[in-house]
Amino acid sequence: MPTHKALTLTAAALTLTLTLTACGEGNGTDPDDNTFTYGLLYPQSGSLAFLAPPQIAAVEYAISEINAAGGILGTEVPPPREADEAGDSARANEAANTLVSSGVNAVIGAAASAMTQASYDTITSSRTVQCSGTNTSPELSNIDDGGYYFRTAPSDLLAGPVLARQIIGDGHNDIAVIARADDYGTGYLNAVQAELTAMGANVTITETYDPDATNFGAVISSVATVNPDAVTLISFQEGTQLMAALLESGLESQFYLTDGLNDPELGTTLGAASSDAINGTTGVAPSADNPEFNDGLRQFDPELEVFQFAPQVFDCVTAVALAAESAGSTTPADYVEHLPEISRPEGTECSTFEECRDLLDQNQSIDYQGTSGNIDFDDNGDPTSATFEIFHFGPDGYEILDYVEYTTG
């Protein structure tokens, strides 16, 4: 019978072995394992749960395209490991920790900028690459991420001017701006207000609100008092309560929305007495004028109804895969420096994983042209150009009026 000391040493050795195995599983630290596993941090519940279907569909579609081309470094990519950000900071961070602990090679997400603020340190401090296709807060450009955070969704510094120009182009001059009191809301508000002011418009009032509040009476009263031509609402699903209350107050202003309320079922959600209540409502959201991608995703998931941010999420998955191919490694610390390189304008343009991978195999530099448009990551991991869709609610329901390209510099 072994002594107690021998048992202790045996247990310790077993623990060490299990720990090393767990650390090596799926994260590229095991030299004999090239399997690349994605983690997906997305809103299965909470105020942005309506974005969950396009998130998971885009990730699975991208993985299917990668596997059809032979996988990453010749190894098939397994289904993503999923975790719920839930629209709650504590739960988002816990979910991020679960993904990192499981040894994923990259985390796609979170969806909400605030949820990324709550969880990025857990992810990037472990030297795991994080790429979000939906984060738009300008505050995320300068986070202390060690160079491991990227996004394919454009900052609100790009979206704000597009929305402001749409409002002015529609002939409005006296404009109220209402926004969530968080990084997403205040960053977007500042971008819209700056552009409106620069174009000579009169911003009659700006209001921020607590997204967890149950009563928005003060905001409604303030906006109704100034009686603007147009109301810009920068919010998530809680904004439907604000919009419904403003409509019920008799306000006849035109509404302008952002991506957080880009929902074809908005009229139903509002519970408006008739569809006429939101006729004329217009909004701006990151998108892609890419019918081929949309058709492919629709065939991949015929039940998918909301496509918002799907191209950007697809591009996160593909860009990360190409960086791993470029580095010849699935280890984040090895491939992270290759992420900016795979979208440099000096490279040969390519638009699919297989096409770009083949060019890399020929030792060529590449310029990945994403499904959401040209990406060109800057030093902060942000895209420098983006395509936006102008969505609209008219007599025939929800429709896309136009696609607008915007670039910095």
Exposed/middle/buried for residue 222 (C-beta within 10 Å: 0-12, 13-18, 19+):
middle
User: Buried b / exposed e across 44-62, counting CB within 10 Å, b at 16+?
Assistant: bebbbbbbbbbbbbbbbbb
* Cα–Cα nearest to 131, from 345, 139, 147: 147
In the chain, the amino acid numbered 1 is M
State the pLDDT at residue 45.
93
The CB density around residue 211, as the number of other CB atoms within 10 Å, is 20
Please tell me which residue, 315 or 9, carries the higher pLDDT value. 315
State the pLDDT at residue 18.
35
72 forms beta bridges with 75
pTM: 0.81
Residue 294, helix vs strand vs coil: helix
**What tens digit of pLDDT does each residue of 331-390 get?**
999 999 999 999 988 999 999 999 999 999 999 999 999 999 888 899 999 998 888 999
Average pLDDT over residues 211-226: 92
pLDDT at 22 over 50: no
Alpha-helix runs per DSSP H in 125-259 = 156-169, 183-198, 217-226, 239-248
Peptide linkage before 92 cis (omega within 30 of 0): no
197 confidence band (pLDDT: 50, 70, 90): very high
Residues 382/312, Cβ–Cβ less than 8 Å: no
**What tens digit of pLDDT does each residue of 260-312 get?**
899 888 888 887 555 577 889 999 998 877 889 999 999 999 999 878 899 99
**Residue 224 backbone dihedrals phi, psi, to 5 degrees:** -60, -30
Token output for 339: 């992420």
Alpha-helix runs per DSSP H in 199-309 = 217-226, 239-248, 266-270, 291-300
pLDDT at 327 over 90: yes
State the pLDDT at residue 312.
94
pLDDT at 14 over 90: no
209 confidence band (pLDDT: 50, 70, 90): very high
State the pLDDT at residue 47.
80
Residues 324/357, Cβ–Cβ less than 8 Å: no
**Residue 401 backbone dihedrals phi, psi, to 5 degrees:** -80, -40
Token output for 173: 């001059």
State the pLDDT at residue 269.
83
**What tens digit of pLDDT does each residue of 373-400 get?**
888 899 999 998 888 999 999 988 899 9
In the chain, the amino acid numbered 341 is E
Residue 374, helix vs strand vs coil: strand
Please tell me which residue, 175 or 33, carries the higher pLDDT value. 175
How many Å apart are CA 299 and CA 80, to the nearest integer? Answer: 20
State the pLDDT at residue 228.
97
Q: What DSSP designation does 278 have? A: G
Q: What DSSP designation does 76 have? A: P
**What tens digit of pLDDT does each residue of 124-174 get?**
999 999 999 999 889 999 999 999 999 999 988 899 999 999 999 999 999
How many Å apart are CA 359 and CA 347, to the nearest integer? Answer: 10
State the pLDDT at residue 275.
58
How many Å apart are CA 299 and CA 295, to the nearest integer? Answer: 6
Domains of the chain: 12-153+309-376 (3.40.50.2300), 158-286+389-407 (3.40.50.2300)
pLDDT at 2 over 70: no
How much of the chain exceeds pLDDT 90, in percent?
Answer: 70
Residue 391, helix vs strand vs coil: strand
Q: What DSSP designation does 343 have? A: B
How many Å apart are CA 407 and CA 181, to the nearest integer? Answer: 27
Q: What is the mean pLDDT of the chain?
A: 89
pLDDT at 16 over 90: no
